[in-house]
A and B are shown apart, each in its own frame.
Chain A
Amino acid sequence: AQSVTQLGSHVSVSEGALVLLRCNYSSSVPPYLFWYVQYPNQGLQLLLKYTSAATLVKGINGFEAEFKKSETSFHLTKPSAHMSDAAEYFCAVTLSTGNQFYFGTGTSLTVIP
């Protein structure tokens, strides 16, 4: 069975500081991994995805994530937080042979001016 764990349900950073949101996955076969962002009262928007190509994946809005098989991790980073980054972030996993996404419990990012 596959799953994702997001460490830290709430993360606060100062504007301009590094953003680091953690995601660890569990999968018996090579996974496909995704990060989604949800702004208040909106649907989920894809930030980036890993599908077995380059391990460092760049996404929209300056975000990137690195797939580390040895650590079973797919942490999301952004060098400099902006006020507009405040949102809920979800990590998700599926398999090349899978038929659904498994979402983490989400991390709420607060950016302090």
Chain B
Amino acid sequence: DTAVSQTPKYLVTQMGNDKSIKCEQNLGHDTMYWYKQDSKKFLKIMFSYNNKELIINETVPNRFSPKSPDKAHLNLHINSLELGDSAVYFCASSHRVNTEAFFGQGTRLTVV
């Protein structure tokens, strides 16, 4: 069983479209994250949820909206996609906010 699973793995879409990435964890963790990895491999936190409550919302355009329907899921919806949104997006989870994080396989988003 995959501990943290993201879908889709690849996403190619046109500018201006709206898309969603889904994330599910079966580890029973309380905290979930979204990270963005750019073309230089730099990892930047976007959002963090603890028990379905948003605890971190870094400087991210409001076109990005996370949704956590329950502790096991944290989805990412992106409106009006731009070329600069092209990156790999990683979902992760941890037992608590300061314990090791387990990462999904990533979603490679390409905006054309």
| Cβ of A42 under 8 Å from chain B | yes
| Cβ of A70 under 8 Å from chain B | no
| Cβ of B102 under 8 Å from chain A | yes
Contacts of A90 in B (CB 8 A): 43
How many CB-defined contacts (below 8 Å) exist between A and B? 56
Prevailing SS type, chain A contact patch: strand
Residue contact B90 to A44, C-beta cutoff 8 Å: yes
Known: A43-B90, A46-B100. A103 touches B106 (CB 8 A): no
For residues 32 through 90 of chain B, which have their beta carbon under 8 Å from a beta carbon of chain A? 33, 40-43, 45, 48, 50, 55-56, 90
| Cβ of B101 under 8 Å from chain A | yes
| Cβ of A99 under 8 Å from chain B | yes
A to B CB contacts below 8 Å, 13 in the list: A36-B103, A41-B106, A41-B108, A43-B90, A43-B104, A44-B43, A44-B101, A46-B100, A46-B101, A95-B98, A97-B98, A99-B50, A106-B43
Count of interface residues, chain B, beta-carbon cutoff 8 Å: 23
Question: Which residues of A line the B interface, CB within 8 A?
Answer: 32, 34, 36, 38, 41-46, 49, 88, 90, 94-101, 103, 105-106, 108
Q: Within the assembled complex, what's the spacing in Å between the Cα atoms of A98 and B55? A: 11
Contacts of B33 in A (CB 8 A): 100-101
